[in-house]
Amino acid sequence: MTTTKPYLLENKKESNRLKKQAQSNGYLIEVELRGIDLKNFHTFLDVGCGSGVFLEHLKNKHNNFRYTGIDTSEERITKTSDTYKDLENIEFINENILSSDTQLKKYDFILCRYFLHHFSETNVVKILKKLKNLLKTNGVICLIEPDGILNNIFPLSPSEKKAIIHFNEKYNVTMDLGRKLPHLLETCGYQNIDWSMDSFPKNKNDYHDIEVGLMLERILQTAANLKDPKDKKMIEKLSEIIQSPNSVLFHNMFTVTAELKNKNILSLVKK
């Protein structure tokens, strides 16, 4: 069985933080999913569904769908299923996707949004392989993940840079996941891989008005969960750096899609 580290941002306020973030410029799901017509699909799996940001979007775009949300957080699963209890054909599963033994069905569309960068690259591959078995032939997997974040801060001293690398490794965070996803999907046997990317923040005002505020919320929640005082201190130091007037921190948000096609019968015959 694969073990995973506890979710780094676990906190009673996490549902609210996710909802607030979803309304902020730079984290808008309608922008991330532009060009994808959700009405082409009927069954949806939302992995690490959190506060239901995708379900909220889906119900406004589609009037005949089946949805499954899976998340390790009992608190968020309870809250989110209560919010959407009046919708039909909705189910929520409180499990870890990697060790889940629930008999999940096959889906037309699988989404992982802001989810996979909370794992090591090895576990990302394990999750993508598991999801391949849950995707119908001709179904689409859609991964929305940042690339950059703490890796893209200036100014940082060499020792602070080293501390960030160490932190990422220790807590299994992959801060540069966006750029790796097309290759990882190919490795796992997906086809028709496509991607688009957007950079955020766009200017100094967005940075100081939105990004720093959101980042501080993440940093405070993370620091509250850390046991090692050295790690806590490092995270607190970062919060000071990003608030200084001419610091810059930025990320690229990737939307990566891939499909599963019918097996090529000729290649099977050749074997």
Ligand X SMILES: C[S@@+](CC[C@H](N)C(=O)[O-])C[C@H]1O[C@@H](n2cnc3c(N)ncnc32)[C@H](O)[C@@H]1O
Contact pick of 98, 214, 216, 220 for ligand X (by CB under 6 A): 98
Q: Which stretch binds ligand X (CB under 6 A): 36-44, 107-115, 154-162, 250-258?
A: 107-115
Question: How far is C-alpha 187 from the chain's CA centre?
Answer: 20
SS3 123: helix
Q: Is 25 helix (H, G, I), strand (E, B) or coil?
A: coil
By CB under 6 A, residue 96 contacts ligand X: yes
Pattern of binders to ligand X over 117-136, x per CB under 6 A?
-x------------------
Out of 45, 70, 150, 153, which residue is the one contacting ligand X (CB under 6 A)? 70
Q: Is 74 helix (H, G, I), strand (E, B) or coil?
A: helix
Residues in the chain: 271
Which one, of 118, 138, 141, lies nearest residue 129 by Cα? Answer: 141
CB of 109 to ligand X, least distance (A): 14
> Is 72 among the residues that bind ligand X (CB under 6 A)?
yes
Spatial distance between the Cα atoms of 221 and 239, rounded to a whole number of angstroms = 12
> In whole angstroms, how close is the CB of 5 to ligand X at the nearest point?
9
Q: Using CB under 6 A, which residues numbered 4 to 43 contact ligand X?
A: 4, 7, 18
Kindly indicate which of the ranges 44-52, 156-164, 168-176, 179-187 contains the residues binding ligand X, using the contact rule CB under 6 A.
44-52
Q: Which stretch binds ligand X (CB under 6 A): 65-73, 101-109, 160-168, 254-262?
A: 65-73
DSSP state string for 10-62: --TTHHHHHHHHHTSTT--HHHHTTT--GGG-SEEEEET-TTTHHHHHHHHH-
What is the token pair recorded at 87? 């919708």
Whichever of 72 and 257 has its CB closer to ligand X, that residue is 72
Q: Nearest distance from residue 191's CB to ligand X, in Å?
A: 24
Candidates 66-74, 132-140, 162-170, 179-187: pick the segment binding ligand X (CB under 6 A): 66-74
What is the bridge-based pairing of β-strands 90-93 and 107-113?
unpaired
Alpha carbon distance 3, 37 (integer Å)? 35
Site membership for ligand X, residue 250 (CB under 6 A): no
On whether the CB atoms of residues 87 and 80 are closer than 8 A, the answer is: no
Q: What are phi and psi of 104, to 5 degrees?
A: -70, 150
Q: Toward ligand X, which CB reaches closer, 142 or 156?
A: 142
